[in-house]
Amino acid sequence: MTHNSVLLIYTGGTIGMKEDPELQTLVPFDFSGIIDEVPELRKFALTIDSYTFNPLIDSSDVEPDMWRNLALLIKDKYDCYDGFVILHGTDTMAYSASALSFMLEGLAKPVIFTGSQLPIGRPRTDGKENLISSVEIATAKGPDGAPLVPEVCIFFNSKLFRGNRCTKVSSTAFDAFSSPNYPALANAGISIEYDTKHIGWTGKYEGNLKLHTALDTSVSIMKVHPGITENVARNCLLGEGIKACIIETYGSGNSISKKWFIDIVQEAVRKGRILLNVTQCLSGEVNMDIYATGRALKNAGVISGGDMTTESALGKLFILLGESSDTEEVKSLLPKNLRGEMSK
């Protein structure tokens, strides 16, 4: 590696589309010609290679297999590039970035997810700015020559976020992502200002990149809501094949206190189901000691997800269940901060 280099990985999504004049519809463009689409990239003294997934997908169709392929590709090309930029649809970007953060242990190079709300070939596209800044961030080095952002991140609308702290908050605005419980790692204005204090969770690991590619997806998500029925709760917590359920609760971790609900929770815990409490609120955290309704869950054996996002909780459970069939071990690791995904 003589000078800075980046691998652009295109998985699909709006960013890589352009208008087909004949069909008069949006079609994916050939990513090997990315520099022709975004000639501004030539201004960087960089080697930019691209890799296109086949088939390209709308990210609504993303599966753990795609995450596995991404992780394996990064591992395979790890020594060839200074950083990686993953172009991905916005709909599930926060899920993919969260999952990758858990799959890539000991990451010492930037892996930057980005995408756009408007295709790169459209006037007013946000795709070009998102792509150009992501490339710059993926190859940014500190004074010691080490990568400035050795993390899985999302870059969107001038802000760089830790990937496993993000959630998509708008289906239309350019400001589509938020990281409610952790500050932006960088802001791109006239120059890119890095908040070095908050960067580098994964950089704390010593040693080589270690992949975790065994994922067990036997996880359900139940959003508590007024009028939820016993049948729905039973299916989510005790349905066949379910090993864990993420319970999205109200406020600081509160749920229904009715006897039928607590009975189901207790039965699920007794049967070895792992129940993880995350809040429906965009910011703040679960604290099951504040209200009696939260305390009832805690007493029944529900684990606090702290200020983890649902996206992050899902990725964490997939990996932990994939790596261990010992329920107690998974339960003991869940409240631990493994990749900077929680504040405590």
Q: How far is CA 146 from CA 13, 75, 140, 200, in A?
A: 31, 18, 8, 11
Segment near ligand ASP (CB under 6 A), from 89-97, 136-144, 198-206, 213-221? 89-97
- How near is the Cβ of 62 to ligand ASP at its closest, in Å? 8
Q: Which residue is nearest to ligand ASP (CB)?
A: 89
Run of H or E residues at 98: helix 93-103
Instruction: Give the interface size with ligand ASP as a residue count (CB under 6 A).
Output: 10
Q: What is the dihedral of CA 251, 257, 263, 265, to 10 degrees?
A: 0
Active-site option among 14, 202, 249, 279: 14
Residue 157 is a binding residue for ligand ASP (CB under 6 A):
no
Report which of 59, 147, 152 is spatially closest to residue 102, judged by C-alpha positions: 152
Angle between helices 93-103 and 310-323 (to 10 degrees): 40
Q: Which of 4, 52, 90, 202 binds ligand ASP (CB under 6 A)?
A: 90
- How near is the Cβ of 74 to ligand ASP at its closest, in Å? 20
Report which of 164, 194, 204 is spatially closest to residue 343, judged by C-alpha positions: 164
The CB density around residue 1, as the number of other CB atoms within 10 Å, is: 9
> Which parts of 283-322 interact with ligand ASP (CB under 6 A)?
none
Cα-to-chain-centroid distance, residue 165: 7
> Which parts of 91-130 interact with ligand ASP (CB under 6 A)?
91, 115
Question: Smaller CB distance to ligand ASP: residue 84 or 156?
Answer: 156
Q: Tell me the residue ranges of DSSP E strands in 163-286.
A: 167-168, 177-178, 186-188, 192-194, 210-211, 219-223, 244-249, 274-279
Residue 13 is a binding residue for ligand ASP (CB under 6 A):
yes
- How near is the Cβ of 171 to ligand ASP at its closest, in Å? 9
Find the largest Cα–Cα distance for the chain.
66
- Alpha-carbon gap, residue 54 to 27, rounded angstroms: 14
Structure tokens at 259: 């006897």
Segment near ligand ASP (CB under 6 A), from 10-18, 23-31, 231-239, 285-293? 10-18
DSSP 111-134: EEEE--SS-TTSTT-SHHHHHHHH
From residue 46 to residue 75, what is the string marking binding to ligand ASP with x (rule CB under 6 A)?
Answer: ------------xxx---------------
Report which of 306, 305, 284, 288 is spatially closest to residue 297, judged by C-alpha positions: 288
- How near is the Cβ of 18 to ligand ASP at its closest, in Å? 14
- How near is the Cβ of 91 to ligand ASP at its closest, in Å? 3
Cα-to-chain-centroid distance, residue 88: 11
Question: Smaller CB distance to ligand ASP: residue 94 or 330?
Answer: 94
- How near is the Cβ of 153 to ligand ASP at its closest, in Å? 17
Catalytic residue at 14?
yes
Instruction: Please confirm whether the linkage preceding 147 is cis (ω < 30° from 0).
Output: no
Question: Smaller CB distance to ligand ASP: residue 58 or 195?
Answer: 58
Residue 14 is a binding residue for ligand ASP (CB under 6 A):
yes
Question: Smaller CB distance to ligand ASP: residue 126 or 151?
Answer: 126
Q: Which of 89, 147, 163, 340 binds ligand ASP (CB under 6 A)?
A: 89
Active-site positions read 14
Residues in touch with ligand ASP (CB under 6 A): 12-14, 58-60, 89-91, 115
